[in-house]
Amino acid sequence: MQNPLLEVPKAKHGAYPFDRIKTEDFLPALQAAVETAKTKLERYKRDPRTDFAHVIVEKSDITEQVDYVAGIFFNLHSAECTEELEKISPEMTEVLTRFGNDISLDPQIFAKVKACYDTRLDQKLGKEELTIIEKTYKSFTRNGALLADSEKAQMRELDEKLAKLTLTFSQNVLKATNEYVLELTDRADLAGLPENVVEAAAEMAEKKGKPGAWCFGLDAPSMIPFLTYSKKRDLRKKLLLASSSKTYKTKYDNQETLKEILKLRTARAKLLGFNTHADYVLEERMAMSPKKVMDFLEDLLAKAKPHAERDVERLKKLARKQDGITDFQSYDASYYSEILKRQELALDDEMLRPYFKLENVVDGIFKVAGLLYGLEFREAFDVPKYHEDVRTFEVFDQDSKAFVGLFYTDFFPRPTKRGGAWMSGIKEQGMYHGKVERPHIMIVCNFTKPTKTKPSLLSLDEVLTLYHEFGHALHGLLSKCTYRELSGTNVYWDFVELPSQIMENWVLEKECLDLFARHYETGEKIPEDLVKKIKASGKFLEGLGTLRQLTFAFLDMAYHSVSPETITDINEFETRITERTALLPRLPETSISTAFSHIFAGGYSAGYYSYTWAEVLDADAFEFFQQSGIFNRDVAKKFREHILERGGTEHPMELYKKFRGQEPDVGALLRRAGLH
């Protein structure tokens, strides 16, 4: 059949043929790729060889076409999910889950993997080969290879149900986010909102067929400025209530979906011999056990909570003094935080936005990559794209001129894109049919859009987000592994955030800001006093910020460490678990959990603590940079060679110690946050 998904990519660097793919190509391509793989797997199973090249490398080649089709589909499903694509997603998920289980639960395939694993030390292999054999063997056992036939059937059923439910959870969040609109028709209701926010709201209203009105949605670039600047307390409450209840007791209610996900995850963990899903997950993490995670979180809570309580008291005092508010609520927090920041630091986001034109920030981050790692980014106009907002870049080594990888950016919100920001390996670095190839990496964000009169001017938080995702991108682009299963971000989940979070540190440094922060109209460099204020803002209300992250981490661990049967009321459970970290009254009829996509639709179940865990790593690592200069090439070379290039080829703590010369110091995080 003629299908671009089944052809060898002809575009530059073998890029995805986004310009030729139609939605109706996906299911036939996936089914054909699966059938071809199954035929090859039958021959593979009959082959008596148990050496590494046959068992590991050949198996990877057999499934490569299936991975290729799935990779394109799920990248689009997150970034450009049309109604047509959404309709076929359950069947695509079902076919892929079934195929994955056909391999992981096949006794003949596992017998070959086990034989290769048992003889690994006799095969005279390198460290990377030994690591991938061990990882493959463990993957099979963690997916049920050692189970009895009846238990394998149960595992298959659990996995297929889980795949459908996590997809449903994600779809509900996206639909609920897209559906809600706060429509304002009275200009008085715009009090306090910056001009660019008002203009963007008017443009949104026009697109929704409501000319003359102003519309606000639940996507971050629309909602966050409203909660930060609107003087209308009743409207802030209305918008935050809509966001916090979008998938709770609405037509997109996720309560039962959430409960069923927990039951299935627990059943799966118990089937494999673990007490809880958290025990299962953490076996393959730096933290290793729920106890170690909880000890880590409790230690940080003890240090951060007194600071957070003082932060809240300062906000309450300000609200009482300025507006007579005696019942301070969550929908007041961002508004008065911004006022307090203006008072204490003489700083607000609107002062900074003119210096953070998106194109300049992107150019600046490329300069940072050049100074640290000798990379050069050249925009490519002949690489297929899936949407007009996407830009593509070829990445080269400045010295050798060697091709490093393809880099895609997609920055603005739209109804077909899920919320948040993420990096994705469109094509991971590593071996494909005997040849090691370079990666294709994408970052997707939801930033402030340009308006008719202004370019895209980012908030400081958006700049930090861009640097964060770019850090992930560097992890993918600079990977120098043999096997794609170990390359780039294929590392322990509580290590994957180190390359991303460390990049955020540069944003708070003058040497970095001087590279790109120029006024979009005058070209004037960001003033010295603003740079100092940005630096100081890194510690502003940091106790409250840390407590917020701890709330999510504790909630995640609680859900995945208890018996699901005990969770009968989501609201009651969430209230009880977050009681110690909640310093403001809980809004009635709202829920964090039912829209907590990170843990119920993403890969962070029993892993949300990773963000805070990695903060310790990145704070400690950045102190090492600061000791020699933030653009010191020798330190950057160590970070590149031991962290960015090595993927999951060694245990992350060993890689970290090779870079740093020591284990990470928790004190570095406390010093940076001003919590020591």
Q: Which of 213, 244, 275 is the last residue of a domain?
A: 244
Q: How far apart are CA 619 and CA 470, in angstroms?
A: 17
Domain for residue 487, yes or no? yes
Q: Are residues 230 and 378 in the same domain?
A: no
Question: Residue 155 corresponds to which tokens in the numbers above?
Answer: 């595992």
Contact 297, 550 (CB under 8 A): yes
Residue 260 falls inside a structural domain: no
pLDDT in tens, 159-203: 999 999 999 999 999 999 999 999 999 999 999 999 999 999 999
Q: How far apart are CA 229 and CA 192, in angstroms?
A: 5
* 72-122 pLDDT, tens digit each: 999 999 999 999 999 999 999 999 999 999 999 999 999 999 999 999 999
Domain span at 79: 4-104+106-146
* pLDDT confidence of residue 675: 84
Give Cβ neighbours of residue 578 (< 8 Å, ≥ 6 apart): 551, 554, 555, 586, 592
In a domain, residue 154? The reply is no
Q: Residue range 379-385: average pLDDT?
A: 97
24 with 126, same domain?
A: yes
pTM: 0.91
For the chain, how many structural domains are there in total? Answer: 3
Angle at 77 between CA 75 and CA 81, to 5 degrees: 130
Q: Specify whether the CB–CB gap between 633 and 672 falls below 8 A.
A: no
For residue 585, being part of any structural domain is answered with no
Residue 676 has pLDDT above 80, yes or no: no
pLDDT of 579: 97
Average pLDDT over residues 271-285: 97
Average pLDDT of every residue of the chain: 96
pLDDT of residue 17: 95
Contact 228, 238 (CB under 8 A): no
Quick one: pLDDT at residue 203?
Answer: 95
Same domain, residue pair 11 and 83: yes
Alpha carbons 351 and 356: distance in angstroms, whole number: 10
Would the pLDDT of 312 be above 90? yes
Residue 131 lies in a domain: yes
Run of H or E including 317: helix 290-323
Are both 196 and 138 inside the same structural domain? no
- Residues annotated catalytic, as ranges: 469
pLDDT in tens, 151-169: 999 999 999 999 999 999 9
Asked if residue 208 is part of any domain, the answer here is yes
Span 282-292, average pLDDT? 94
What does the longest C-alpha to C-alpha distance in the chain come to?
A: 80
Residues 202 and 137 in one domain: no
186/129 same-domain check: no
Q: Tell me: the pLDDT tens digits for 28-79?
A: 999 999 999 999 999 999 999 999 999 999 999 999 999 999 999 999 999 9
Report the pLDDT value the prediction gives residue 640, as an integer from 0 to 100. 98
Q: Are residues 444 and 523 in the same domain?
A: yes
Please determine, for residue 560, whether its predicted confidence score (pLDDT) is greater than 90.
yes
Q: Find out whether 119 and 49 touch, Cβ atoms under 8 Å.
A: no
Of 244, 269, 299, which one is at a domain's C-terminal end?
244
Question: Is 341 a domain residue?
Answer: no
| pLDDT value for 365 | 98
Tell me: do 388 and 518 sit in the same domain: yes
pLDDT confidence of residue 673 = 87
Residue-wise pLDDT tens digits, 571-586: 999 999 999 999 999 9
Q: Clarify whether residues 30 and 77 are in a common domain.
A: yes
Confidence of residue 332 (pLDDT cuts 50, 70, 90): very high
- Half-sphere exposure of residue 49, counting CA atoms within 13 Å on the CB side? 13
> What's residue 643's pLDDT?
98
* 1 pLDDT higher than 80: no
**What integer pLDDT is reported at residue 349 of this predicted model?**
83
Calculate mean pLDDT across residues 489-493: 94
Choose the final residue of a domain: 146, 163, 198: 146
Shared domain check, 482 and 405: yes
Q: Are residues 199 and 83 in the same domain?
A: no
Same domain, 515 and 417: yes
What CATH number does the domain containing 395 carry? 1.10.1370.40
Q: In this structure, is residue 271 part of a structural domain?
A: no
